[in-house]
């Protein structure tokens, strides 16, 4: 994909899926502004890796659940590069527990980052993209948002909500050449899934027709596809990247 001259903001971009997405966009020539919650060294490492691919990159600390911090993130991107062409809402957390034992604070924390954070970031770039008459927004949902998962009521709610917002905003912005799509990863090999119990991993792998966990690069390429110029006639869609898990 050719992203030369484009600027991308990637939330949760310091490691895992966010790092892979940042690198994929940088590989295509994009300027990358990535935000991170707390791991500054990982963020700087990702910046260096992006720049080694020939692009320009910038890391900004940002809690996406806070509107003032989101505004500062987008202002920094505009100051550095003059425009925002691509927004990838990847920042997300889990606080897993069965409903009967789930703490209200854990429900609030997950929805604040995963759902409200996506809302705030889309709201912060929508006007700029409409003015430009160009934009690509790609939101990270999950197969859990499509099908649910025991012990993840909060996470499932947040990721299902992301899909609803994606479809709604796609209708609002389509006439301005701004597309809004979602990617729904399945069982991907990341730090988040590494923390799962072995029994849960085995059960998930047995449900994947291709017979393996996904790689972060698998998701990053799907995001890059939806972020490209060539996919301007695709909007309001959810692309599952799950090895057939959700068939």
- Which residue, chain included where needed, has tokens 């992301």? 162
Beta bridge partners of 35: 60
pLDDT per position as a tens digit, 94-135: 999 999 999 999 999 999 999 999 999 999 999 999 999 999
Domain residue ranges of the chain, discontinuous segments joined by +: 7-232
* pLDDT at residue 200 in the model: 77
Question: What pLDDT shows up at residue 195?
Answer: 72
The secondary structure element, H or E, covering residue 167 is helix 153-173
Is the distance from CB of 61 to CB of 14 less than 8 angstroms? no
pTM recorded for the entire structure: 0.95
- Angle, helix 153-173 to helix 104-111, in steps of 10 degrees: 30
Marked catalytic residue, from 36, 134, 155, 233: 155
- CA pair distance 123, 73, nearest whole angstrom: 13
Q: Could you give the angle at the alpha carbon of 136 between the alpha carbons of 9 and 173, nearest 5°? A: 125
Long-range CB contacts for residues 114-119, cutoff 8 Å, separation at least 24: 114/155, 114/158, 114/159, 114/161, 114/162, 115/157, 115/158, 115/161, 115/162, 115/165, 116/65, 117/11, 117/64, 117/65, 117/70, 117/89, 117/91, 118/64, 118/89, 118/162, 118/165, 119/165
Q: How confident is the model at residue 196 (pLDDT cuts 50, 70, 90)?
A: confident
Please say if 134 is a catalytic residue. Answer: no
Look at domain 7-232 and name its CATH class.
alpha beta
Mean pLDDT of the chain: 95
Please state the rounded mean pLDDT for residues 16-29.
Answer: 97
Q: Mean pLDDT across the stretch 149-175?
A: 97
Please, which pLDDT band fits residue 236 given cuts at 50, 70 and 90? very high
Work out the pLDDT band at 201, boundaries 50, 70, 90. Answer: confident
> What does the pLDDT look like over 64-84, one tens digit per residue?
999 999 999 999 999 999 999
CB-based contact 167:210 (threshold 8 Å) = no
**What confidence score (pLDDT) does residue 59 get?**
98
Instruction: Tell me what pLDDT residue 27 has.
Output: 97
């Amino acid at each position: 994909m050719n992203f030369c001259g484009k600027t991308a903001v990637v939330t949760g971009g310091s490691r895992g899926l966010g790092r892979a997405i940042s690198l994929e966009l940088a590989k295509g020539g994009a300027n990358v502004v990535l935000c991170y919650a707390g791991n500054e060294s990982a963020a700087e490492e990702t910046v260096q890796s992006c720049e080694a691919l020939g692009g320009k990159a910038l890391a900004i600390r940002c809690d996406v659940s806070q509107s003032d911090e989101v505004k500062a993130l987008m202002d920094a991107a505009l100051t550095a590069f003059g425009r925002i062409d691509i927004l990838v809402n990847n920042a997300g957390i889990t606080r897993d527990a069965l409903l009967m034992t789930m703490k209200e604070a854990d429900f609030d924390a997950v929805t604040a980052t995963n759902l409200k954070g996506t809302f705030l970031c889309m709201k912060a770039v929508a006007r700029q993209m409409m003015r430009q008459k160009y934009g690509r927004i790609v939101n990270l949902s999950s197969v859990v948002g499509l099908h649910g998962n025991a012990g993840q009521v909060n996470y499932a709610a947040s990721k299902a909500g992301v899909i609803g917002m994606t479809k709604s905003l796609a209708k609002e912005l389509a006439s301005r050449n701004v597309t809004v799509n979602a990617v729904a990863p399945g069982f991907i090999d990341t730090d988040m899934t590494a923390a799962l119990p072995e029994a849960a991993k085995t059960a998930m792998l047995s449900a994947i027709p291709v017979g393996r966990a996904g790689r972060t690069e698998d998701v990053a390429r799907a995001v890059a596809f939806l972020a490209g110029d060539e996919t301007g006639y695709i909007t309001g869609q959810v692309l599952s990247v799950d090895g057939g898990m959700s068939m």
